[in-house]
Amino acid sequence: MRLNVHFHVLWLDGVHAHELGSGRAEFCEHGEVTDGCVAGLVSAIRDRVLRLLRRLGKWPATSEAAAADADGDATDVMLQLGAAAVQGRTALGERAGAMDARVGRGTRREPFVKGPLCADMDGFSLHAAVRVEARDRDRLEHLCRYAGRPAIAESRLSLLPDGAGALQL
């Protein structure tokens, strides 16, 4: 099971600027966003997040540091499996610690553009192709509800008699 840690962001494609003396606010649209902008941004996000995680000691600097130790108890193994899933690494076996292969995703040095305004790099992806036109309140509400939904539906969670949590698939 692959853990897919992610978050949604609603990005305004412009700002309202107040005209001095007139009392009016005018919307100033941001310039066109290109595939190159999205690819550059996903690369910058990846680099900054990994740098922060390494500085905090939450991400190994080398694949050897990520190799899972299968001799631990069940709790340790589950923690190692979860950590490997988040990092996109193989947890156990002869490839322990190695990055998972992602077929058709290009190299780790350049983002893979998978569609208009969509790019992927080392498991970091950015999809900037959704746009809501001005005054389309229904579509805006739908997008806000989608972006604000919880990662796991609370109705699928339960507490087992031994105190452990369970997720119904």
Q: pLDDT digits over 18-44, tens only? A: 888 888 888 888 888 899 999 999 899
Looking at the domain assignment, is residue 1 inside a domain?
Answer: no
pLDDT tier, 69 (very low <50, low <70, confident <90, very high otherwise): very low
Looking at the domain assignment, is residue 54 inside a domain?
Answer: yes
User: In whole angstroms, what is the distance from residue 95 CA to residue 91 CA?
Assistant: 8
Looking at the domain assignment, is residue 123 inside a domain?
Answer: yes
Please check the confidence at residue 7 and state whether its pLDDT lies above 80: no
Looking at the domain assignment, is residue 5 inside a domain?
Answer: no
Domain around 86: 14-162
Please check the confidence at residue 70 and state whether its pLDDT lies above 70: no
Reported in sequence order, the residue ranges of the chain that DSSP labels E, i.e. its strands, are 14-18, 25-29, 112-115, 118-121, 124-127, 157-159, 165-167
- What pTM value is reported for the model? 0.59
Number of domains comprising the chain = 1
Looking at the domain assignment, is residue 18 inside a domain?
Answer: yes
Looking at the domain assignment, is residue 144 inside a domain?
Answer: yes
Looking at the domain assignment, is residue 9 inside a domain?
Answer: no
Looking at the domain assignment, is residue 7 inside a domain?
Answer: no
